[in-house]
Chains A and B, each alone.
Chain A
Amino acid sequence: MSKPEDALNLGSLDGFRWLDNGQSALSGNLLDLFRNLDRMFLSWSRECNASEYRFPTFISARDLARLDYFRSFPHLVTFPIVLKSEEENLKRFSEGSTLNAEGEVTLTDIRGVRDVLTPAACYHFYVQFQGEKLTSVKHVTTRANCFRREAYYLPLQRQWGFAMREIVCIGTADEVKEFLSRYQDRCERFFKRINLTVEFQNATDPFFNPSKNPKYILQKLDPVKTEMVYQTGLAIGSINFHRNYFGEAFQISRDGKEAFSGCVAFGLERWIYALLHHFGFDQSTWPRLDSPEEE
């Protein structure tokens, strides 16, 4: 994670607005940069003929529970909630002091929560393909607005809501490992072309109470996550080998055995941060993002 001195003076940047709730609004050149980055990731996904999907904002709590998500990441989860629809309850809410001085809503009765705001783009795929018996390797991609509650937020670097593009491979262990290695190479060629200092480092997922979590201990002993760490210490993307964890949880098989999966994930706001930090705010100094022939 970046040190405070690495924070950019984004207040002086046209097209950027930081919101107190840990989210940012983009327009103008910055929105162009966001779109161009995503277009580039999408063009990379075509190198493995990935099919593109668009998923909704919510994912069912039942599906996330199958991944043990609530035990592993309770500190990150964000729930959409609604009031119970009984007229008396709605009346009580609308006629009460709906907002307190801190800007907190004074709620009346809440309906049972069955959904979660998407915490990672690729989860939708395992739900989508559950029960499938694959006879060939599958490559897919999606971009999602993801939500992770954090103790603090920093513009572009650590946000409650952020955009994540993922390219996912579901297949045999060897197919997935080959895919991940190919995309690490893909990213390395790009960083080299634009002269961005990014190191690939073993990492672990941000588990709750990690020292007591066997999943964390296992990730330390058998790393499955490699982060793309920009020179300030900010991870702008990651390469993840899930083993057959999702294949087992969602009964996805590949040639009769539980499928393996892996993904390459890009945090778009963090990429924007790294490019602004390295190249400055002047758009004319930004690198071209559409020159794969040079990589």
Chain B
Amino acid sequence: MTRETEIRDALRAWIVKTNGKIQPDQLDDETPIIERRIITSLQVMDLILFLEKLSNRSIEVDTLKVGVFKNINAIYNAFFASVIE
């Protein structure tokens, strides 16, 4: 299993667990997690903490760009892709 797959799986598992209602097969890498409120505004702060832990670096909320939490692909590209490549 590649590091990328591990990260995507970890993201999916965290989202499924945090949401509490959605099944893993209902969540692909393009599913809009904010628009569908799979992750709510209150959970976004927890998501940021989780991403800090997973990426092992701190995240400055003020520097985040529009769309970074749109779906798993967007999260992966924003916080992990450049580090792994």
Contacts and interface: CB of A to CB of B under 8 A. Distances in A.
Contact of A222 (B42, B45, B61, B69): B69
Contact of A217 (B37, B41, B67): B41
B34 interface: yes
B84 interface: no
A221 B45 CA distance: 12
Nearest to B32: A173
Contacts of B10: none
Nearest to B43: A214
A258 to B, nearest CB: 8
Given A222-B66, A222-B70, A214 B41 contact: yes
Given A221-B66, A222-B67, A223-B66, A214 B37 contact: no
Contact of A220 (B37, B42, B66): B66
Interface stretch (A27-35, A163-171, A242-250): A242-250
Contacts of B41: 214-215, 217-218
Interface in A33-91: none
Contacts of B61: 217
B37 A244 contact: yes
Nearest to B64: A221
B68 A221 contact: yes
Contacts of A217: 41, 44-45, 61
B35 interface: yes
* Interface bin, chain A: 10 to 19
Q: Which secondary structure dominates where chain B touches chain A?
A: loop
B36 interface: yes
B44 A243 contact: no
Q: Which secondary structure dominates where chain A touches chain B?
A: helix
Given A243-B35, A244-B36, A214 B42 contact: yes
Interface string A221-253: 111000000000000000000011100100000
Most A Cβ at <10 Å: residue of B37, B44, B69: B37
Contacts of B37: 243-245, 248
A214 B34 CA distance: 13
Interface string A166-184: 0000000100000000000
Contacts of A218: 34, 41, 44, 69
A222 B78 CA distance: 14
Most B Cβ at <10 Å: residue of A173, A202, A217, A245: A217
Interface of A: 173, 202, 214-215, 217-218, 220-223, 243-245, 248
Nearest first, the 6 A-B pairs at minimum CB distance are: A218-B41, A215-B41, A214-B41, A222-B34, A243-B37, A218-B44
Interface of B: 34-37, 41-42, 44-45, 61, 64-70
5 contacts: A214-B45, A215-B41, A222-B69, A223-B66, A243-B37
